[in-house]
Structure 1
């Protein structure tokens, strides 16, 4: 209490953050009980019949279960393999640039797409990839090829989704690695140059080890979202022709929960997703702590 009285002004600054988390993070947990009930908005949380794990069993027995799980994992694993290294590479390349004007130009050009809304991004994709008036198909026709309906081809959906995401977020994601590279001691580079090390050798033996804790931390956080895909982009890119590969957990729960009104079932699916993500996060963090001494806690 003596410490509290001496620092009570600082505690006052903490109150808004505590209130925010209490109202928008912890209080909604109370509503997660509808995953275990046959929820009716007219009966409310406590009066709706308790059904236990029935909603979870319905999802696991559903013919959509494996399709949705496969689509979600395929997109996220592809994004992890292709998209995760790009910000690291971009940060290392920018760190090697000595021309400040060119460096700022590249940073601005790569940061800018992050501030484009998902709606605008998908609209741009439909316009550019249109089989009738899209610039990409115009180039294909110019060289004598036939127009391709990119947004309607199931086999192209995952790559279009992942590559457009890389283009939009790569520059912004590189910021954390640029900051980590700034903390690498210049003395190490100077010593390596004196010893005759080339640029690639210095990147491999100095820069990469210097930012490895940051890379591992970001990898752990990314792995903890392995079953999570943003709803907006998936839903906007979805159409009847690519539905077999574009239906993911977020779009599925939207249709079953808000469109069909099956709130309990949709909540159970979302809770399953959160639990699996949590287990993956804990497992990857423990694995990282054992083999690299780097972890979130």
Structure 2
């Protein structure tokens, strides 16, 4: 049987080669723009990739005198030590409790705030509301915890003063194990919701006014317009931010927890990041703390990949 000869592509290049050639041509034409990427690339390489060299101490018995290369290999010794620690699962449970609680309670609130602000017609009030909700984000963590300590003090805090005015007993909010997760999560939501809503406000600004005009003509109320116009518009943004939040589910802010932490609530406030601080910087167990941090990041990476895969299957979009 005769084989039909195939003609060569125009210019003698395959589609893949032609695409590569066009890409290089485009880069040469706009080379000035790529120079702006150089500082960012250098920053990422120096501060994100070069430090990965030090991760090998998680598998070594690191001693500062011997250096990284001179320290002896111990394999998975430090990982086994962590999982055999009596408080291991308590620390993991505390981390997941605070992180999942923060995600479930905190993720929808900036979206709701952005939608509310989007429907405010009075521009002066809208700007005032935006400023009021943004400002807490710029309060330092130390000041925020100090404010909480003063406001919720059982002796002089105005919250307990109000409780006593209604005949109740003062509550030691900052010393209650049961209240610690709520204090941490809701103070964080109050501080960050305005700043987190900016990206949703920007996404909502891209909604065509004609869609809302058509919906109003068809008799749609505000809730129907939000559900059928606004939510679908910002859905890709919501998905991306949710995936990124899932990828940080094991990373609970160290500074705020450490400032709120004391002996009365150590059973619920000891999380991975504070534990790493204690064993790494205070006890100088560098290999042990590095192993815990590496394990933590591997879990985050696994959750990120899984969340992205689920998102691609369910919603048809993801980070990649």
What is the TM-score with the length of structure 1 in the denominator? 0.97
Deviation at 1:8, TM superposition (A): 4.4
Equivalent in 170, 173, 185 of residue 196 of structure 2: 173
Unaligned runs of 5+ in 2: 1-23
Give the alignment partner of residue 234 of structure 2, picking from 211, 218, 223. Answer: 211
| 2:216 counterpart residue number | 193
SS of the aligned residue for 1:241 comes to helix
Residues 46-87 of structure 1 deviation map (CA, whole Å, 9 limit, x = unaligned): 001101111111111111110011000000111111111100
CA distance in 1, matches of 2:26, 2:199: 35
Once the 2 structures are TM-superposed, how far is the Cα of residue 208 of structure 1 from its aligned partner?
0.8
Matches within 5 A, 1:115-154: 115-154=138-177
Q: Does 1:236 align with 2:259?
A: yes
Question: Post-superposition shift, 1:187?
Answer: 1.1
State the match for 2:182 in structure 1: 159
Aligned pairs for 1:45-56 within 5 A: 45-56=68-79
Alignment RMSD, CA only?
A: 1.3
Answer with 106-115 or 5-14: which moved more: 5-14
Query: In the TM superposition, what are the counterparts of 1:100-119 in structure 2 within 5 Å?
Result: 100-119=123-142
Q: Give the SS at the match of 1:31.
A: helix
Give the secondary-structure state (helix, strand or coil) at the position aligned to 1:155. Answer: coil
Distance 2:121 2:27 in 1: 50
Q: Which residue pairs with 1:19 in the alignment? A: 42
1:57 equivalenced with 2:64 (yes/no): no
1:285 to 292, 308, 314: 308
Larger Rg: 2
Could you tell me how far apart the structure 2 residues matched to 1:282 and 1:74 are? Answer: 21
Q: Determine which of 82, 85, 98 is the counterpart of 2:121.
A: 98
Deviation per residue, 1:169-192 (Å, 9 max, x gap):
000000011111111111111111
